[in-house]
A and B are shown apart, each in its own frame.
Chain A
Amino acid sequence: AQSVTQLDSQVPVFEEAPVELRCNYSSSVSVYLFWYVQYPNQGLQLLLKYLSGSTLVKGINGFEAEFNKSQTSFHLRKPSVHISDTAEYFCAVSSYSGGGADGLTFGKGTHLIIQP
């Protein structure tokens, strides 16, 4: 069984400041890690993913995340946030079981609030 813990339900940050959204996971098998963003009344959009290789992953909109296997973490960072980054951010894990990618297991989400 897999689980994802997003440690902060809400993160307020001033515009142009850096931000880190924390994510920890647990799994008994190798996993693939994802960050999705959800803007109000919209579906989920993939920000970035870690499948293998380099532990530092760069995504869209200036976001990046680092996979840390020993700490079972996949924290999301952005060096300078913009008002348009206000949204809900979800960390998710998946694995492979022969029938294709397993369904994603999501965390509860972190609401990023950008203050002017």
Chain B
Amino acid sequence: EAGVAQSPRYKIIEKRQSVAFWCNPISGHATLYWYQQILGQGPKLLIQFQNNGVVDDSQLPKDRFSAERLKGVDSTLKIQPAKLEDSAVYLCASGPIQGWQTQYFGPGTRLLVL
């Protein structure tokens, strides 16, 4: 079974630029999550999707971050414009309906904002 795929793996941009990350969850997984992991901290949930609907985006900085999950499969997370403090690893995770308590994580996208 293929795992959660994310791209790109690394991205370097300057502040005020825009950037987008892509996530392909495990086939059949209905729930998809985006987390932000700042260096030295645990991951923090940004947004949770159930199929193509948003379940929780209470911690998403909506003035600059946006996310979508078209057709309930792949998802993209966008930052526009980026700030220095957005430098972090962005992790995508997915979960099945059965065994829903367990989330499976992708390798992450490491973002550096200069």
Q: Which A residues are within 8 Å of any B CB, using their own CB?
A: 4, 32, 34, 36, 42-46, 49, 51, 90, 92, 94, 96-97, 99-109
Contacts and interface: CB of A to CB of B under 8 A. Distances in A.
Interface in B3-51: 4, 30-31, 33, 35, 40-45, 48, 50
Contact of A45 (B41, B56, B100, B105): B105
Given A90-B42, A107-B42, A108-B40, A99 B103 contact: no
Contact of B102 (A46, A102, A107): A46
Contact of B41 (A34, A44, A109): A109
Contacts, number: 69
Given A32-B101, A106-B43, A109-B42, A100 B108 contact: no
Contacts of A102: 48, 56
B13 to A, nearest CB: 20
Contact of A103 (B41, B48, B105, B108): B48
A102 B58 CA distance: 12
B72 interface: no
Contacts of A46: 102-104
A95 B68 CA distance: 24
B66 to A, nearest CB: 17
A101 B105 contact: no
Nearest to B104: A46
A53 B45 CA distance: 27
Contacts of A106: 42-44
Given A49-B101, A90-B42, A100 B107 contact: no
B5 to A, nearest CB: 11
Contacts of B40: 108-109
Given A97-B55, A100-B97, A109-B42, 8 more contacts: A43-B4, A44-B105, A51-B101, A101-B100, A104-B35, A104-B45, A107-B42, A108-B42
